[in-house]
Amino acid sequence: MKKEKTMKLSLPTDELMSSGHLACQGCAATLAMRYVLKALGQKTALCIPACCWSVIDGPFPYSSLDVPIFHCAFETAASSASGLKAGLEMVGDTETTVVAWAGDGGTFDIGIQALSGAAERNDDIIYICYDNEAYMNTGIQRSSATPLGAWTTTTPVKHFKNRPKKDIDAIMAAHRIPYQATANTSYPEDLYKKAKKAKDIKGTRFLHIYAPCPTGWKSRPEDSIKLGRMVVQNCIFPLYEVEDGEKYTLNIKPREKKPINDYFRLQGRFRHLKDEDLKLIQEEVDRNWERLLKKVEIGGQQP
């Protein structure tokens, strides 16, 4: 055993999330929570609507997090967080960061009016959406975050989803909020940096975190991190920041754009897709990537 080298860790070692939670094997949503809490620290309050995390956290007298959590109704994540922040300000607490932590169903479909309202009022909250691309908690139903061609229990193989994913980042950019970013659990340092940056900004901040779900995507649990890396390398889910709805910054620009086939072939939910379907999806991905590059060119800088 060699002892010369000392260990250098890229993230702080204090954990606010404990073991023993109820997530499936290989769940990346727990990783998202772990990294975000490392960045935000102890002075944080969470509002969690119905989503995977309201189950992962544990049943009534227990909790797997060391920060206060408020379980709220499905559509009210953003408005509960706004109320919590206003209440804290009334009693003179201006330090605590209030976070609304919702899944993709609670952000893209059900919670979007509360989110839009909070963003328009520019309430001082961080809204974090961890995106596993369907209603995984209730049994893999289609949401508007489900990508084109995916199998879910409500879009079976014969009638797979024929509409593309909703572009929530463009919707939030149209609200002209001070800070928003996309992040990925396979790039923890990047995610940590963005959460830290969001903590120091006043106003509504929006983080969109990509979190692979082995149960719903029918992928192997050990592939969760690999899938997250692939999705950035083939430009399906690019990592970028937007400030004031205009200034786009691209964080990771892949040297060569990889074809999407490898990513799709690792997941059972895309097993029924033929090669010509994948070609159509590749064209769609290319179009979105070109559009993003144009936005970066107009109002921002490239790495």
Partner 1 sequence: MKDKKKAEKIIFKTEKEVPLMPMSLGSMLYNKTGAWRNIRPVIDLGNCIQCGICWKYCPDVAIYIENEFPVVDLEYCKGCGICAEECPTKCIAMVEEEK
Distance CA 198, CA 114 (A): 20
Total residues interacting with partner 1, rule: CB under 8 A: 43
Does an H or E element contain 119, and which? Answer: helix 112-121
Give yes or no for residue 266 binding partner 1 (CB under 8 A).
no
Among 44, 54, 64, 204, binds partner 1 (CB under 8 A): 64
For the bound state, the minimum distance from the C-beta of residue 224 to partner 1, rounded and expressed in Å, comes to: 6
User: What tokens were used for 50?
Assistant: 């119905």
User: What tokens were used for 85?
Assistant: 């922040």
For the bound state, the minimum distance from the C-beta of residue 167 to partner 1, rounded and expressed in Å, comes to: 28
Distance CA 163, CA 160 (A): 9
DSSP state of 259: P
Give yes or no for residue 90 binding partner 1 (CB under 8 A).
no
For the bound state, the minimum distance from the C-beta of residue 96 to partner 1, rounded and expressed in Å, comes to: 17
Distance CA 35, CA 48 (A): 17
Among 39, 51, 69, 172, binds partner 1 (CB under 8 A): 69
| Residue closer to partner 1, measured from CB, 63 or 122 | 63
Query: Which burial class, exposed, middle or buried, applies to 196 when counting CB atoms under 10 A from its CB (0-12, 13-18, 19+)?
Result: middle
For the bound state, the minimum distance from the C-beta of residue 180 to partner 1, rounded and expressed in Å, comes to: 25
For the bound state, the minimum distance from the C-beta of residue 155 to partner 1, rounded and expressed in Å, comes to: 27
Among 111, 188, 216, 238, binds partner 1 (CB under 8 A): 188
Task: Tell me which residues in 16-45 interact with partner 1 (CB under 8 A).
Answer: 17-23, 25-28, 30-31, 34
The contacts of residue 30 (CB under 8 Å, 6+ apart) are 17, 21, 23, 56
Give yes or no for residue 80 binding partner 1 (CB under 8 A).
no
Build a one-symbol-per-residue string for 197-236: x at contacts with partner 1 by CB under 8 A, - elsewhere.
-----------------x-----xxxxxxx----------
For the bound state, the minimum distance from the C-beta of residue 172 to partner 1, rounded and expressed in Å, comes to: 27
SS3 143: coil
Give yes or no for residue 113 binding partner 1 (CB under 8 A).
no
Sheet containing 179-184: which strands, arranged edge to edge?
69-71, 44-48, 97-102, 126-131, 205-210, 179-184, 240-243, 247-250, 300-301
Distance of CA 22 to the CA centre of its chain: 19
Residues near partner 1 (CB under 8 A) are 1, 3, 5-11, 13-15, 17-23, 25-28, 30-31, 34, 57-58, 60-64, 69, 188, 214, 220-226
